[in-house]
Structure 1
């Protein structure tokens, strides 16, 4: 049983943080949840509209499809960068650090317009490909899901690198020496030893990227050009342009609930995988 002083110290340290999180996150969310069942009239009509609206359902499907694709691409790319950052030569580590840190100095809006300049029909990539004779007509690289995925992946890679690098730095080098002593080659060690031992970092990076991706607004709005609307954008449209605050609030609450369920399942899977328990 914990001592009273220990409990008091714990509450003294965590109490202000819990109060701040409650004030900033929980209270506003409860307000939005109240709107979803009170506007324009009390009841669950807005959730019924949400389930029957083909536009909203298609936006949800597109959002989760794009977020899943972005998460896979981001974690794979970040894993390679983190590997070089942790286990590369000093020069490779410095270059990897620059690739990780420099994007933090550039705003999301600037990055989105930068990709628009690169990927547009008259952008640098299409101009180079046409000048080299690889294509005769410009490729459609923006105002579609491809442009949105590229922009979101580029933005989220640095956020995925840190949990992966932290997991890689905590590994015991003696395990790899033992694997080499037993005759395992470099590729076998990487896939059978290194990757499984960094599974916690992969889970952490996946959670961070997926949750961030679900709330993206600026990048899909610019690179999607209104043709690849995601959940955050349709919430904005329902709240401020329709206006239909009740339906916008219902979409917000539904999105939060879906995310909570998915994260709970992912955490459960991670725990079972770590303990070796089979389903």
Structure 2
């Protein structure tokens, strides 16, 4: 039996050749090419070559104030959603990193269960809460804080709140992973050396948790830039974001070249943010050490 273990270990631990790895990944790559790359390439081609070689569609996006406002609004909402998600995720991730057993299981379920629920269902839940005769307005009136229902739905605040709730798990999980990897001996050592709670957080916990924070912020920010369902249902015309504008150009205006230009602008911006982030915080090092 002892002579068979090395061969079994070698069989289970051997490295696949690049050709074998590519063959195993082929079904996934083909699926991505068909459902993502091909439609995206078609839109970008139409934005540059319909009716002929032109950049007029891209110029139109920046020259007309209404489209420029939509792009700036999308950027602003993405920043607000990221900030709110970070504000909500840090305490939860901290408690999770210090919890064990049943408490950790319940907190993890609270974070993960929403991921198994449709975004559409969660968005409609917020509509029920925030509508004119919804739960929030009824509660405010019962507490005597307002005399009549106030407008909560179809506002930028409602869009930011609902999007932050939907994207919260993508912020919690990276921060929890980073906090969980910080040995408790570090904080005890800092306290023994006379560091205050704030100094311990600033000098020990925050720098070590920064990879998780930056990774979570990047994921939430990029997802918020292209979010469609929640802004389309909860936000009104004054809160239109770029994904809703693209849908409007395709479905209502039938202006596919201009929709492709909007997609191209968003794609370039996302790629630029990702490259800057990767160079600034050395994402490869964080992923490799995880």
TM-score (norm 2): 0.85
1:247 aligns with 2:286: no
Aligned to 1:262: 273
Alpha-carbon displacement from aligned partner over 1:68-93 (angstroms, at most 9, x marks no partner): 00011112211211111111364542
Aligned pair partner of 2:127 in 116, 127, 135? 116
Distance 2:19 2:179 in 1: 33
Aligned pair partner of 2:58 in 43, 47, 67? 47
Aligned to 2:87: 76
1:85 aligns with 2:96: yes
Aligned 8 A contact 1:117 1:124 in 2 = yes
Aligned to 1:237: 248
Aligned pair partner of 2:21 in 13, 20, 34? 13
- 1:1-279 maps to which residues of 2 (within 5 A)? 9-14=17-22, 16-17=24-25, 21-22=32-33, 24-88=35-99, 90=101, 92-271=103-282
Distance 2:116 2:271 in 1: 31
Q: Which has the larger radius of gyration?
A: 2
The total of aligned residue pairs comes to: 269
**What secondary structure, in the 3-state scheme, does the structure 1 residue paired with 2:282 have?**
helix
Aligned 8 A contact 1:84 1:92 in 2 = no
Distance verdict in 2 for CA 1:74–1:11, change over 3 Å: farther
TM-score (norm 1): 0.88
**CA displacement at 1:205 relative to structure 2:** 0.3
Distance verdict in 2 for CA 1:16–1:227, change over 3 Å: farther
Deviates more, 1:115-124 or 1:132-141: 132-141
Distance 1:68 1:11 in 2: 42
**What secondary structure, in the 3-state scheme, does the structure 1 residue paired with 2:17 have?**
helix
Aligned 8 A contact 1:78 1:160 in 2 = yes
**What secondary structure, in the 3-state scheme, does the structure 1 residue paired with 2:167 have?**
helix
Distance 2:161 2:223 in 1: 15
Distance 2:115 2:15 in 1: 38
Aligned 8 A contact 1:160 1:205 in 2 = yes
Aligned to 1:3: none
Deviates more, 1:219-228 or 1:25-34: 25-34
Listed as ranges, the gaps of 5+ residues in structure 1 are: 1-5
Listed as ranges, the gaps of 5+ residues in structure 2 are: 1-13
Alpha-carbon displacement from aligned partner over 1:44-96 (angstroms, at most 9, x marks no partner): 11112112121110100100000000011112211211111111364542442
Aligned to 2:7: none
Aligned 8 A contact 2:93 2:176 in 1 = yes
Q: CA RMSD in A?
A: 2.3
**CA displacement at 1:29 relative to structure 2:** 2.6
